[in-house]
Amino acid sequence: MAHVICVGHTRAEMRDLLKNYADAGVQNIMALGGDIPDDPLAALSEFEHAIDLIDLVRASGDFSVGVAAHPDGHPRSPKPGLGPTFPGREARSGRLRPSPILL
């Protein structure tokens, strides 16, 4: 499973990366937002949240997509302690399809 972060990347870079993965036979993508680096220039990105990356992954091939969440809420959340929000939104949106958990 390829772990892909969207922080610091453009959509064109991600499309190229996903094409290379598809060409190499990769079928599983873990789509992550990624940590914001201390250098503001390194943090420039065309993605606001991991869900934006998920949309691009789904449009780029027949990948199975995994996500991760902060159980106590995301550290950058305006309301810490509310628990995970985006993975629930991602699941409800229909953008993710159920798949078995691989351990």
Mean pLDDT, rounded, for 59-69 = 86
Mean pLDDT rounded to a whole number for the chain: 76
Q: Would the pLDDT of 101 be above 70?
A: no
| pLDDT (0 to 100) of residue 70 | 66
| pLDDT (0 to 100) of residue 48 | 77
What share of the chain in percent tops pLDDT 70?
Answer: 60
| 53 vs 77, residue with greater confidence | 53
The model's pTM is: 0.69
Terminal Cα distance for the chain, rounded: 12
Beta strands in 1-103 (DSSP E): 2-5, 28-32, 64-66
The SS3 of residue 6 is coil
Mean pLDDT, rounded, for 42-48 = 72
| 73 vs 85, residue with greater confidence | 73
Q: Would the pLDDT of 27 be above 90?
A: yes
